[in-house]
Amino acid sequence: MQDLYVLFDLDGTLVDSAPDLHGALNHSLTRAGRDLIDIAQVRHMVGQGARVLLERGLTATGGMPSAEIFEELVEEFFDYYEDHLIDHSVPYEGVVTSLELFKKAGVTMGVCTNKPMRFAVPLLQQMGLSKFFTATTGGDSFEVRKPDAGHINGTLEEMNFTKGTALMVGDSDSDISAARNAGIPSIAVTFGYTEIPVSDLNPTHIIDHFDELYPLVTKITRS
């Protein structure tokens, strides 16, 4: 599988990062004098990066504060989250085995996440996952981010993609739409953070567990 390039979304796809995003969000909400929110709500708020997560959390607990206070809360959220990236977050079951299989098969892998680089890079490092990826790009790496095709194309460029097959694996609308916009097949995971069933997003393929990924990709590349 030398000519294969696989892009992975991070939050809700490779890593169940919601517990620590939940902790950081509630830290900020407490500072803002708001009620705490539960983790089930937070799972559906993840997908457009940390700023949007905080915006959604504030909106759900009384509305947006002034721009000045919001910026202060963003800074506090960022500082707190930076120190608690993997307190409770874990790779989904089967992720490490699957990445090892791809690596052995000579597949080039990259991470294409809307998470800011300030968090995406250390999170992958601290989890011991960095070694699998040729490139990591975040929501702030380019002028555009998922669902814009530019995010996928920019990541593939960093992976030195010139010919072959590229695939996007993700959990949310922004991943599946970005793949569609970039003209590459998508594989949706059903265990991520999207509120609606992933089949409604019309991905090219669907998996319920990471163990299904390697056999599926082998089949796709053979057909």
Ligand X SMILES: O=C(O)COP(=O)(O)O
Under the binding rule (CB under 6 A), the answer on residue 57 touching ligand X is no
3-class DSSP assignment, residue 16: strand
Report the site for ligand X in 66-105 (rule: CB under 6 A): none
| Alpha helices per DSSP H over the chain | 18-31, 39-45, 50-60, 67-83, 95-104, 117-126, 149-158, 173-182, 213-222
CB of 5 to ligand X, least distance (A): 18
x/- contact string, 74-113, with Mg ion (CB under 5 A)?
Answer: ----------------------------------------
Question: Which of the following is catalytic: 3, 9, 83, 200?
Answer: 9
Q: Is 208 annotated as a binding residue?
A: no
3-class DSSP assignment, residue 53: helix
x/- contact string, 158-197, with Mg ion (CB under 5 A)?
Answer: -------------xx-------------------------
x/- contact string, 173-202, with ligand X (CB under 6 A)?
Answer: ------------------------------
Q: What is the 8-class DSSP label of residue 35? A: P
Q: Give buried/exposed letters for 85-94 (b at 16+ CB in 10 A, else e).
A: bbeebebbee
Burial class (CB in 10 A: 0-12, 13-18, 19+), 51: middle
**Angle, to 10 degrees, between the axis of helix 18-31 and the axis of helix 67-83?**
140
Q: Which residue is nearest to Mg ion (CB)?
A: 12
Catalytic residues: 9
Per the annotation, where are the binding residues for Mg(2+)? 9, 11, 171
Contact residues for ligand X (CB under 6 A)?
Answer: 9-12, 46-49, 53, 113-115, 172
